[in-house]
Amino acid sequence: MSTPTIHTTQVGESGARVVFLHGLMGQGKNFTQAAKALQPEFCSLLVDLPDHGKSAWTDRVDYVVFADTIADHLRVGFAAEGPVHLVGHSMGGKVAMTLALRHPDLLDRLVIVDISPNVSERAGEFAHLLGSLAALDLATLERRSDADEALRGPIPSDTVRQFLLQNLRATDDGGYAWQANLDVLRRDLDVIGDFPEIDAVFDHPVLWIAGEKSDYVEEEDEPVMRALFPRTRLVTIKDAGHWVHSEQPEAFVSALKVFLGAAGSSS
């Protein structure tokens, strides 16, 4: 697999440096609100994962390749002057954990949001969602609202539907196309739900955030998480589902500020 080009957006110019990695079918811009709320104490880099947003497409999902690619990007850019903090949500959390285990010198503190290093059993759920997108006949769309209307049946949740439709972009010829690499992401859902075997331990402070209403982090996930990340602190955000940062933005930012703000006073 060739190294994909990574698209990033920087928010802020000064303060401690924080990198954000989004989840499946997300984009770096999903963390814009959080990044702005962290200013001026923190400067943030919003990353589009490979096969997402404006980053390059690949021929297969591979957490090690994704993590190494982002690490290389950080090493010559945002992290060139020293270690940075890394925040990863869902699929981005698995990329973040992989990066931390393989490139610990690049990171100061790690934040994992509503995901664990255990194998996920959600392939069926995402197969339905992404399959519904793939079944959409883009050639018949005259406006974005047509796509929203067509997906109301298979994807009744307005929140989930709008999240997924952020990946629908207008083309130069007046049509529509998926910005995310939908075919590869659908095909490799089992890989996305898995986690690579890495013989390493990340011995830096880790904040593990779970949503109270989410079942992505279960009690049985803790032994594996703490084996790989022994300095883990688990925090549950009340009244939050899987998209903690968008459902409870103030509590999410507050947790980040407390955890990352303590970096200078303790190791």
Residue 44 and residue 115 share a domain: yes
| Whether the Cβ atoms of residue 233 and residue 208 lie closer than 8 Å to each other | yes
Residue 139 and residue 115 share a domain: no
Q: Report pLDDT for 263.
A: 61
Among the listed residues 203, 205, 17, 226, the one whose alpha carbon sits nearest the alpha carbon of residue 101: 203
pLDDT of 131 strictly over 80: yes
Catalytic residue chosen out of the listed positions 183, 190, 203, 215: 183
Residue 106 and residue 59 share a domain: yes
In tens, the pLDDT along 19-70 reads 999 999 999 999 999 999 999 999 999 999 999 999 999 999 999 999 999 9
242 part of the active site: yes
Distance, CA of 37 to CA of 254 (rounded, Å):
9
Residue 114 and residue 146 share a domain: no
103 part of the active site: no
Distance, CA of 35 to CA of 176 (rounded, Å):
30
Distance, CA of 195 to CA of 117 (rounded, Å):
6
Q: Which two tokens stand for residue 180?
A: 């995310």
**pTM to 2 decimals?**
0.95
Q: Count of domains in the chain? A: 2
Catalytic residue chosen out of the listed positions 120, 242, 245, 246: 242
| Whether the Cβ atoms of residue 161 and residue 151 lie closer than 8 Å to each other | yes
pLDDT of 1 strictly over 70: no
Task: Examine residue 267 and state whether it is found in any structural domain, yes or no.
Answer: no
183 part of the active site: yes
pLDDT band at 124, cuts 50/70/90?
confident
In tens, the pLDDT along 92-121 reads 999 999 999 999 999 999 999 999 999 877
Distance, CA of 38 to CA of 12 (rounded, Å):
9
Residue 209 and residue 157 share a domain: no
Q: Which two tokens stand for residue 134?
A: 């793939």
User: At which of 154, 187, 220 does a domain end?
Assistant: 187
Q: Report pLDDT for 121.
A: 74
Task: Examine residue 2 and state whether it is found in any structural domain, yes or no.
Answer: no
| Whether the Cβ atoms of residue 128 and residue 230 lie closer than 8 Å to each other | no
Residue 43 and residue 175 share a domain: no
Q: What is the CATH number of the domain that holds 85?
A: 3.40.50.1820
Task: Examine residue 1 and state whether it is found in any structural domain, yes or no.
Answer: no
Query: The domain containing residue 223 runs over which residues?
Result: 7-120+195-261
Residue 23 and residue 144 share a domain: no
Residue 135 and residue 58 share a domain: no
